[in-house]
């Protein structure tokens, strides 16, 4: 495999273990994402925010449930088709572009991530995913 032919799917394949949905993830949700999730769940906006969000500064983030998982996790992500961009892109996130060693750190708790690619290959794939999602 040449360096340029490496695709995001070569670096990561989700095992659906749910570990990344555990703990306080600080998952930001945008206004549009809230609208989409509310449509999907058939909930009023205020009800969704009251039941499923907590504030981080002045921005809503998805709350953590009593079982330690994201409140929207129930063996699977219950809003999978409309989950926030941060979740859709994971683990191809901006932080990797700031410091590619974050990839290795994240991989320690994500069995779906491979660590046998160079920082440049990882960054190129992160850019590819982020550019597609903009």
Site for ligand SF4, rule CB under 6 A: 14-21, 25, 27, 62, 70, 72-73, 77, 79, 83, 87, 90, 110-112
Number of H helices, E strands in the chain: 7, 2
Q: Whose Cβ is closer to ligand SF4: residue 3's or residue 26's? A: 26
Q: Which is nearer to ligand SF4, 3 or 50 (CB)?
A: 50
Q: Closer to ligand SF4 at the Cβ: 26 or 118?
A: 26
Distance of CA 75 to the CA centre of its chain: 16
To ligand SF4, the closest distance from the beta carbon of 2 in angstroms equals 26
| Alpha carbon distance 131, 27 (integer Å) | 20
Helix (H, G, I), strand (E, B) or coil at 27: coil
In angstroms, give the least distance from the CB of 110 to ligand SF4.
3
Max Cα separation, the chain? 50
């Amino acid at each position: 495999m040449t360096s340029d032919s490496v695709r995001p799917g070569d670096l990561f394949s989700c095992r659906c273990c749910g570990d990344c949905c555990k703990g306080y993830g600080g998952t930001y949700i945008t206004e549009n994402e809230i609208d989409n999730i509310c449509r999907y769940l058939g909930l009023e906006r205020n009800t969704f925010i009251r039941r499923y969000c907590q504030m981080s500064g002045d921005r809503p983030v998805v709350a953590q449930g009593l079982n330690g998982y994201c409140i929207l996790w129930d063996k699977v992500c219950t809003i999978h088709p409309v989950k926030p961009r941060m979740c859709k892109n994971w683990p191809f996130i901006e932080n990797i572009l700031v410091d590619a060693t974050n990839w290795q750190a994240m991989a320690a708790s994500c069995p779906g991530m491979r660590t046998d690619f160079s920082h440049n290959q990882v960054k190129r794939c992160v850019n590819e995913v982020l550019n597609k999602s903009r």
